[in-house]
Structure 1
Amino acid sequence: MLDYKEAYELICKAIDRKVKFNELETIFGQNKTDIKNDNEKTKKVKQEDNYIDIKRFAANFYKAPIVNYKGYVNGRTQKIKNRYSEIIAKTLVSDDFVKEWSKLKPVRPNHFDTGHNHSESVDINKLQISNRKEEILAKLLFYQRGVKDLGYIFDYQTPLKAVKSDSYGKIDLLGYNSKDKCYSIIELKYRPSGSEETLLRCVLEAYTYYKLFDLNQIESAQDHNGITELRALKDYKHTKNAELVILFDEKSCIVDDGGAETNLMLRIVPKDASNPHYPTKTVESQQYKECKELIDSSKHKELQTLCEEILAQEPHLKQIRFVVLRADTDSKSSYPTNIKGWSRKLDRLYRAETLLTIPSKG
């Protein structure tokens, strides 16, 4: 069995790249919940050490810089098949590395102890002070609750860590897809200047979070406002099924390109939160560009295959959806009344559009 170092080195070799000094420990730093101290580690049998290696690789690989590489492997013809992301996706499947994700398990005893509340009073100006615009957008979607073609959003920034030192991140959004009767693990990508993360990273991140999330805790949660409201929906029924959703912006536009109507957020600069803000040039997001190529079956073939392999090894994953988020400027819905200072001129309601669904064949 390969350890995490050997697996990573083989993937780097496939794209003609040398592993940089200290890169392995930076990416795959071990979790204290796995190994409390070196003395304890020396007592572990080889099988347990292999499990730790597997966990470190699968739980952290999406953060590796190579996963976000764009362009083509040096010295090769610039064809789709020679893109970094395509070669990495192919290697994950052909060398069976993708199977290591199936061995991940949740570690957090309570994902829903955060006190997130749909009805809590929030000041839009204070919310916008943060520079973490993606998190602000996630909160706005949570407060909206139902998002057309996306689902009912019942939590945001759902934690996965058991202890603070764990390397695990947070699920951007949790939703319920009433049409397909499944929960949605939503990976949101947004930057006012256009997100540059590859679809390969997005898919691996969403899949990793799905494996580290105990879906059964949704049914057992008692004091979580979003789940309480979810249960009250007439079309809701608890299920073991889920989907991965990659949610992204199409583009950030200048005024002349229609930014006033299409940009997902206009309150960008905290010092001038009362006025709209636009980028200096219109920028299409990396996810939207790649998704258009993915829809063409002759492009991103290896990413498509990777998605299919993920679905094949997860009996409760129904599909992987690629969804673009849009400003719903035509909506007749009323703005969230619990958000103080919300303005139709500056703030948005949202809708979504599914560009591509890769279904499970099971």
Structure 2
Amino acid sequence: MVDNKVSIKKIFDRIKRVKKFEEFKATYGLTPSDEKGSTKFAANFYKSDIVNYKGHVTGSKDLYSEVIAKTIINDNFIKDWLNLIPARPEHFKINHPNTDENVDALKITNRKEEILAKLLFYQGNIDGLGYIFDYQTPLKASRNDSYGKIDLLGYNVDDKCYSVIELKYRPSGSEETLLRCVLEAYTYYKLIDLKQIESTIGHDGIQELKKLSGYKHTNEAELVVLFDERSCAKEDGGAETNLMLRIDPYKPNTPSYPSKTVVSQQYKECQELINTSTRKELRALCEAILKQESKLKQIRFVVLQAQKVSKAPYKNKVDNWSENLDRLYRAETLLTISK
């Protein structure tokens, strides 16, 4: 591969967004002296604005995301991800106890996606998805690292592998592209040392995992993109179907709804991936990722669903939680791309 400055610029050139290349280069410190094998591109590319572009390249019928996916494959940029290695010596030093918690603790962050991740962790076993044993798993070794956190880590009992789960959720409908989701999940997979699961002690989630019927430590994993189908207005049945009735920091037990029903970007693109050739380059990218990773079994696209119940699994784990907000989560795999 040629140096990062030249190779990366090709991607931006092909979608006619060269100015975005300059922004990306400045944000993540890429310089002309970056040598072959640098990890800066692969570690940060999923965060580039262009990865989340929708619509068509100016003067073309080609989708931005399809051109980017095709370029990553054809110009062999996908090989850059092979240079990524885990940096953090202890991913599971931070224990997430599956015990009682006051609803106030769920309001520390305004990011509803993080709150939903906690609720899935509290439920533990998610039918159609697997067993969730950790959330917000850290990847960075120092404050200066640009690495993020894995939304959810799970174990797929049926396929005997760990699940690196990228959760996408916004009460008003998530707008991130599947291209971003796949690249983010793949980047995190490269930065997590799954061998630490076997040796970790003092982490409640992992200790419960080891008691799970059918569990056996493995070096194999899958990528899972987990998303909402739609966020419904109250008149469209939001009280029964919405993944989470938005938590107002000042009125934590009062349900609220979007002003109109919105279908998530991931669900719309997944339907195109399944039913048309519109997303053929995205499928090819998934296949290329699997081809170069011997321990990666599959990539699953999964829709998360909820039903209103009188006794949610986390009912006794969150003090002051209103019954109006209780949910039981389950999942449905819409598409699996495997080797």
Normalised by the size of structure 2, how large is the TM-score? 0.95
Query: Within 1, Cα distance between the matches of 2:21 and 2:4?
Result: 16
1:35-54 deviation line (CA, Å, top 9, x unaligned): xxxxxx9xxxx9x9323x2x
Per mean C-alpha deviation after superposition, the further-off stretch among 107-116 and 344-353 is 344-353
1:183-216 deviation line (CA, Å, top 9, x unaligned): 0000000111111100000000000000011010
Following superposition, the deviation at residue 330 of structure 1 comes to 5.5
Query: Within 2, Cα distance between the matches of 1:100 and 1:256?
Result: 48
Kept in 1, the 8 Å contact 2:315–2:326? The answer is no
- Cα gap change, 1:334/1:11 in structure 2, threshold over 3 Å: closer, same or farther? closer
Per mean C-alpha deviation after superposition, the further-off stretch among 332-341 and 108-117 is 332-341
Alignment: residue pair count? 338
Kept in 2, the 8 Å contact 1:28–1:61? The answer is no
State the identity %: 62
Query: Within 2, Cα distance between the matches of 1:15 and 1:25?
Result: 16
Query: Within 2, Cα distance between the matches of 1:334 and 1:213?
Result: 29
Kept in 1, the 8 Å contact 2:310–2:326? The answer is no
* 2:58 alignment counterpart: 74
Kept in 2, the 8 Å contact 1:124–1:341? The answer is yes
Following superposition, the deviation at residue 125 of structure 1 comes to 3.8
Per mean C-alpha deviation after superposition, the further-off stretch among 334-343 and 129-138 is 334-343
Q: Look up the equivalent residue of 2:7 and give its one-letter code.
A: A
- Cα gap change, 1:257/1:268 in structure 2, threshold over 3 Å: closer, same or farther? same
- Cα gap change, 1:26/1:234 in structure 2, threshold over 3 Å: closer, same or farther? same
What is the SS of the residue equivalent to 2:193? Answer: coil
* 1:273 alignment counterpart: 252
1:49-107 deviation line (CA, Å, top 9, x unaligned): 323x2x00111110110000000001113xxxx00000000000000111111221101
- Cα gap change, 1:329/1:189 in structure 2, threshold over 3 Å: closer, same or farther? same
Contiguous gaps of at least 5 residues in structure 1: 31-40
* 1:50 alignment counterpart: 36
Contiguous gaps of at least 5 residues in structure 2: none
Query: Within 1, Cα distance between the matches of 2:276 and 2:77?
Result: 24
Query: Within 2, Cα distance between the matches of 1:278 and 1:12?
Result: 38
* 1:99 alignment counterpart: 79
Query: Within 2, Cα distance between the matches of 1:179 and 1:237?
Result: 11
Which stretches of structure 1, 4 residues or more, deviate above 6 A after TM superposition?
none
Per mean C-alpha deviation after superposition, the further-off stretch among 5-14 and 206-215 is 5-14
- Please give the root-mean-square deviation of Cα atoms over the aligned residues, in Å: 1.8
* 2:215 alignment counterpart: 236
Kept in 1, the 8 Å contact 2:171–2:246? The answer is no
What is the SS of the residue equivalent to 1:324? Answer: strand
Q: Look up the equivalent residue of 1:178 and give its one-letter code.
A: V
Kept in 1, the 8 Å contact 2:253–2:322? The answer is no
Following superposition, the deviation at residue 333 of structure 1 comes to 6.0
Query: Within 2, Cα distance between the matches of 1:345 and 1:308?
Result: 43
Kept in 1, the 8 Å contact 2:4–2:35? The answer is no
